[in-house]
Structure 1
């Protein structure tokens, strides 16, 4: 028994010494809620097992990446960026999906390259800015725009506007954390608003319908407005304490579409109410704040920018999905991180937190 104890302690010290325990506990709390929600949404507790396997794979990636020094990760960044772009290119040739070609069917599992870009794009931006003069000047901003713009354009052409926007946001956060001047941020925001009428012309018909329905869901209650109307009913009917696990009528009676993926949060809100939502959002907030704190502990510019960008991007994923299912934002097909069913998303998110932990564990020397 003593020998086993010493072996386990040695194993933990060898592989888990870079793990940030508070952040891991926050993530485990979210994952536990996710398994409960998925078991209810599928109507079969055993169905959540597959989601649990994906979490296990993601945790393995988290542990492994937490042990990779930021300096080593920085060396591999250009290759990771090019590889994810290459996989995205393969989607146009061999991609599968219901309404858009988003996945590569690898037989054992489906790979969504767009999820990988949420990691590789901020990695590449941080890699470039690590060598640049900060705050970034116009030349550096132009290079960052190209790094972000190419995968954004390719993702939107799939078409997957929601993932494209999130990929762009993850890269933009790295630029923001590099200290870009506020007047430049205002200028880019103004240019973006001015380009909206032009962008409207390039949207797919169903994407335009989603925006129009967002403004007034009752214009097509049995068509494009159905999802958001049913989602709002589910969230509102949950009340303070919810209807109880497995008792949500909107999901159990199949009124709520995509209740295991994009609208998993609606299932949770209906069954556990606002008290449950408060607990879940508290966990999300803790994970984001802890990740940002770890980013401040990073040794170099690359690690600080990357860890901070991943933390802020994670917060945007939460806000966009919550706003989408509650009717405050258009439906753009963005899952709730870790809560929604999705293999590539879960593994890539947990891998990203492994990078955040590595950034915090390989700390700079504050004594000089």
Structure 2
């Protein structure tokens, strides 16, 4: 989006008034066509990311000026007693723009494409980084912006500093006064990550355009577009010296807020359907797992059945073998008994035969002796005669 206003005069003033009314009346879901299908939170939280000194803190005051049309410095809520490093905060701060729009300022991010920085970014986007927890950008300087304005008191005592808020819209802040390489190094990887994580591309805002050379601003815009940022807003920041924003910058800031409102709702819708898709995939996976488990149970049951059948067949075969062995043993025992009986019968026959022979022999001997006696008697009679 071009930051150069296409309106001027009364048209620009009227447009600013309409945008301001829209911003002040905004609550999450009222710019969405799916408001009746999704539970929207009470507030939209916008996350600011950028290197140290890019003007994030002053940008927040500028956003509040644009939203209310007067200087109302942003109100901070941060953990009391937070440790400091080099005089700069290591933590995040939450500031109100309207009753429904809040901005989260960050510790300076100088190397966005490191693995640790992307991990930290994911924690913040999902609301899993509390305000009392130290931000862990790898390679980042220990600092926040240095052109802060003083804060007024705001009662946010009900805020749990151990908890965070999901970020509905991510804004990368670049200063037109900084070196291009240090502003955009590794940005493309982070933009791709944000798109996959949020379903929306981040927007970029270039601060300090009123004190920078125009060709430097155009060069920075070109680099950002090459990195994948299509919506770029140009603003001047409120500081302790600059207490009034020109209407073109107010228009740019209000347009930025309008974009954040749309992105916030669209991100919530994306997250809603992403969760539904994840739930659908989990349900599919659960069903697949249930099917795999059932198949595994059936396989185990079949194996058990086959094993039981195998054991049954083995038992039956064993019983048949034992019965066959018993039958053979009985047969052998019977055959042995029959053989023994035959042997006894044979021995008895032999005994009787021998006894018969012995009787015959005895009878023959008796007969022979009788004959011999008879012959002797006959011989004796013959001799006498």
Same-fold call, TM cutoff 0.5 = no
- Name the TM-score, length of structure 2 as normaliser: 0.22
TM norm structure 1:
0.23
Q: Which structure is higher in strand share?
A: 2
Name the structure, 1 or 2, with higher relative contact order (CA <8 Å, separation 6+).
1
